[in-house]
Chain A
Amino acid sequence: MSKSYNIDVLDPLRFMARMEERQKRIEEAPAKEISSEYAVNKLAYALHPQKQFVRIQKVMERDADCKSFVLVPDAEKGTETLAYFSAGQYLTVFLDIEGMKLTRAYSISSSPKEALEGRYMLTVKYVQDGLASRYILDNWKEGDSVEVSAPEGFFEYNSLRDAETVVGVAGGSGITPFLSMAQAICDGDEEFNLILLYGSREAEHILFKEEFDSIMAKTDKVKVIHVLSHEEREGYEHGFVTADLIRKYAPETPYSVFLCGPQQMYTFVDKELEKLSLEKKYIRHELFGEMHNPKAQEDYPGGAPDTIRITVTVRDETRTVTGPANDSVLQILEKNGIRVPSRCRSGECGWCHSRLISGKVYIPKEIDGRRMADLKYGYIHPCAAFGLSDLEIEVPAAK
């Protein structure tokens, strides 16, 4: 058969020569040890350590129900430096409360620059009947050792996506990531204008008043407007954060709105934002953590027994535990002393990704952060799933 090509100028015996070349190259190479010390891998590890051990250096009482904790590296346990982060990110703290293995997310309220100096600050506010917040406020004291995650989360500024001005809407402890952002702006580590509408009940409940005042004295890129819901006071806005209030302070040019606060605040402010017809890309919410009382959701199907039995396999160990249908699958496991990988507890981050082998769960649509194929192959995020029947699941080991 005739060929469409002729490459006879190329020597076929080169093939043998290449084989010999290979052997020669290998023989001539040194037999030295292979390095695992690559700068890029070190940078990756510095930014995302698997865990961080910290010591509580200082506790600051903000008010009766709120404290700040300054955390420094616990070298004794192997943490020499703290991971750098992007203003707005959170840490997950690992707790062991009477055998229950809990995690909770807390936004870092200190600046990224301070992390380089070996300091994080977390600020924890008591949540009514809350398990972890009560424990932390009552128990964490100076000198204690605590385990936290690497910085996590996507509530951060990006100049390619966000407008030059951010209108921040904060409620209660939702102020924490904004304090970090304001400091980062002041330090020159972030470049955007922050107009913060900060809602508190009364002036005496305002967190970080002095800190923000001092930032505003240093930079005109940060502006804080206090909005009091239960008090009328000169120099303060009164009521809630409404569309009109945002209009009053927002610039003429496009602006982004970042929200961080309790779920009720989102429900209210989201309605107000509709009146402003902003593009979706200009509105960003921080997560609000676990959903409680799934039965209150409109699409809750019902029919769940009061108590759910969960047969759970972690590696080669299987256990059966029980818990109320009102608790997320994650909570039931944790309260039974099973450590489950988790970070956001809001359905988003995917750390708790687990295989549902049998049984039915309710997953509220708005917190269903699963990937498409997870639905096809029966995977759930236990932090955002509630049992509707007895369940059999496989959970990855907690690192």
Chain B
Amino acid sequence: MSRQYDVIVVGAGNGGLAAGGITSKNGLSTLVLERHNIPGGSATSFRRGRFEFETSLHELAEVGPNPFEGTVRQLFDELGAKDVEWHFEENAFRVVLPGEGGFDATLPTGEEAFADEMERQVPGCRESVKAVFDLGRHAIEAIGYLSKGAPDPAVLQSEYADFMRIASHTTKEVLDALHMPKRAQDILVTYWCYLGAPADQLDFLYYALMLILYVQLRPAMPKMRSHEMSLALEKAIHEHGGEIWYNSEVERILVKDGKAYGVVVDGKEIYAEHIICNSHMGNALSRLLPAEEIPEKMLKLANARDIALSFVTVYLGMNRSAEELGIHDYSNFVIPCADSREQYNRCCSIEDSGYAIMNCLNTVIPESSPEGTCTLFFTTMYYGDVWKDVKPEEYKKLKIKIAGEIIENCEKALGITLKPYIEEIVIAAPPTFARYLMTPRGTPYGYQFDMWDSMMMRTMNVEAEEPIKHLRFCGACGERGDGYSSAYISGMNTGLRTVRDAKEGK
């Protein structure tokens, strides 16, 4: 007879690991099922020659150097996954717009230092930059109030009117209202790509929160790449009595009369009281759930949404040190034009967009590759079905062409030479992510953020939009969207809701 669990988690990505950690820690018998042979989903690493590459983490928010604890650190501590060794960045980012009228700005962490550098770059913007942080703090307070539940509309209107403003207006609208000069706006919104929507499509609330968390708590990187965090969470699940099965793809989620009760793996049914799905919601709707059990509202919501972006990433093992190559910053954003909407538009075609992020882990963790070497990680975005016409026989050549363009764009913009020093190279593209994450079009980002489908709008509707009983979702499709910290926290929240349901016997 098949076994019965309290909870089955479908997928051991960041969301699934956090969810399984929470449910097992709270005494629920938990089985995590993962299709791949290692945990983490996006959060892993791979080896080539004498290098070990980070697959996807640009920088982790919400850890915080002791004693400023961010939610992610609290989660890891709470689950007993305390031994991850985090390193912190000094600078938030460097952004370079080459050419006439361009800029080259390196923004430090720490609010004052950040504001000072912004003022140096664009005289007269300091006040509006400070206002962004103040609004971010106000937002954190308001979210604290909201999370107590049953908010009083009168209190919202009187005490938290600014919160309502920033939650319902775009980043651009709020920065305009703050009279921030456009050039300062362009520099300030550099991180937009981490949420995948440009400044005129992204709510200010989420952008300000992300910025303040990076600038105040500083971005963190795990010493042994993301694989360290994934294995730490996996170990925590084992220690709390949970199980993880790898190479175990869930073929179906069993639902009857509006209630989920199990899954099918390798043709075998396994039962559970609660199912948490970390697989992309699109997979659940198209393949995992029985069509006749999908409530119309879920289908409509999915059809109203766009699938988020995907990437091309290039991993280079260099036979020179970062210093020798003249690389001093961890995050280098090379942009082809100042405006984020224009940057977005350029990423809607397969032609060279000119957009690239270059990360050099050795600037944060010098010993992350052997002495005299360094690793570089490049990212560029693709929106929509840009890769749809690529044939198998063209794939390798196309990847090499695009990687070459990305590398050259960075060489030119940053005034460095890279090509002769490439010892190892790996190029990942949307099909690579489709293969490893099994997400629609290979997106690691869930669904595209939009003003009607912003973090706040999703949060307010989480429970209403999980209409199948005993089936909950977590990960990049969740209320906080993409990003490591978002996925961890969405997994934690989903885990907590499941624990609550189990206690209440729901």
Q: A residues engaging B (CB < 8 A)?
A: 3-5, 7, 9-15, 17-19, 21-22, 25-36, 38-41, 43-48, 83-84, 86, 112-113, 116, 154, 158-161, 189, 279-281, 315-316, 341, 348, 350-351, 353, 369-374, 376-377, 379, 396-399
In the complex where A4-B131, A4-B134 touch, is A39 in contact with B47 (Cβ < 8 A)?
A: no
Q: Could you say which of B16-24, B92-100, B284-292, B478-486 contacts chain A?
A: B284-292
CA distance A348 to B127 in the complex (A): 54
Q: Tell me which of A22, A39, A116, A372 contacts B452 (CB under 8 A).
A: A22
CA distance A9 to B423 in the complex (A): 55
Interface pair B300/A7, CB less than 8 Å apart: no
A sample of 15 cross-chain residue pairs with beta-carbon separation below 8 angstroms, ordered by A number, consists of A7-B166, A10-B174, A12-B157, A32-B299, A36-B282, A43-B395, A158-B400, A161-B425, A316-B3, A316-B243, A353-B37, A371-B52, A371-B224, A372-B227, A397-B245
| Distance (whole angstroms) from the CB of A155 to the closest CB of chain B | 12
Interface pair B431/A4, CB less than 8 Å apart: no
B442 adjacent to chain A (CB < 8 Å):
yes
Interface pair A373/B423, CB less than 8 Å apart: no
Q: Could you say which of B58-66, B194-202, B433-441 contacts chain A?
A: B433-441
Q: Contacts of B169 on A, CB cut-off 8 Å?
A: 10, 14
- Find the B residue at minimum CB distance from A30: B303
Q: Report, nearest first, the 6 A-B pairs whose CB atoms are least far apart.
A: A5-B131, A39-B388, A281-B423, A396-B246, A29-B304, A36-B286
B389 adjacent to chain A (CB < 8 Å):
yes
- Find the A residue at minimum CB distance from B132: A5
Q: How many A-B residue pairs have CB under 8 A?
A: 231
B247 adjacent to chain A (CB < 8 Å):
yes
CA distance A27 to B452 in the complex (A): 13
Interface pair B178/A44, CB less than 8 Å apart: no
| Distance (whole angstroms) from the CB of A381 to the closest CB of chain B | 11
| Distance (whole angstroms) from the CB of A129 to the closest CB of chain B | 31
CA distance A17 to B266 in the complex (A): 47
Q: Tell me which of B45, B135, B174, B431 contacts A43 (CB under 8 A).
A: B431
Q: B residues engaging A (CB < 8 A)?
A: 3, 37-38, 45-48, 50, 52, 83, 127-128, 130-131, 134-135, 157, 161-162, 164-169, 173-174, 177-178, 223-225, 227-228, 230-232, 234-235, 243, 245-248, 266, 282-283, 285-287, 291, 296-297, 299-304, 310, 319, 385, 387-393, 395-396, 400, 403-404, 407, 419, 421-425, 430-432, 434-435, 438, 440-442, 451-454, 457, 460-461
Interface pair B225/A116, CB less than 8 Å apart: no
| Distance (whole angstroms) from the CB of A168 to the closest CB of chain B | 19
Interface pair B435/A44, CB less than 8 Å apart: yes
- The B contact surface, by secondary structure, is helix
- The A contact surface, by secondary structure, is loop
Interface pair A160/B389, CB less than 8 Å apart: no
CA distance A31 to B297 in the complex (A): 8
Interface pair A33/B299, CB less than 8 Å apart: yes
Interface pair A350/B38, CB less than 8 Å apart: yes
Interface pair A43/B392, CB less than 8 Å apart: yes
CA distance A196 to B432 in the complex (A): 32
Q: Tell me which of B3, B302, B441, B460 contacts A19 (CB under 8 A).
A: B460
CA distance A25 to B451 in the complex (A): 11
| Distance (whole angstroms) from the CB of A111 to the closest CB of chain B | 11
Q: Contacts of B431 on A, CB cut-off 8 Å?
A: 40-41, 43-44, 47
Q: Contacts of B453 on A, CB cut-off 8 Å?
A: 22, 25
Interface pair B38/A15, CB less than 8 Å apart: no
Interface pair A5/B173, CB less than 8 Å apart: no
CA distance A116 to B89 in the complex (A): 48
Q: A7-B165, A34-B303, A48-B435 are in contact. List 15 more A-B contacts (CB 8 A).
A: A7-B178, A21-B452, A25-B452, A28-B304, A31-B300, A33-B286, A36-B283, A43-B387, A44-B434, A45-B435, A46-B392, A86-B396, A281-B424, A350-B47, A397-B266
Q: Contacts of A31 on B, CB cut-off 8 Å?
A: 296, 299-300, 303
In the complex where A10-B169, A160-B425 touch, is A116 in contact with B393 (Cβ < 8 A)?
A: yes
| Distance (whole angstroms) from the CB of B14 to the closest CB of chain A | 15
Q: Contacts of B230 on A, CB cut-off 8 Å?
A: 373
In the complex where A5-B131, A40-B430, A41-B441 touch, is A19 in contact with B457 (Cβ < 8 A)?
A: yes
In the complex where A48-B435, A372-B225, A373-B231 touch, is A14 in contact with B45 (Cβ < 8 A)?
A: no
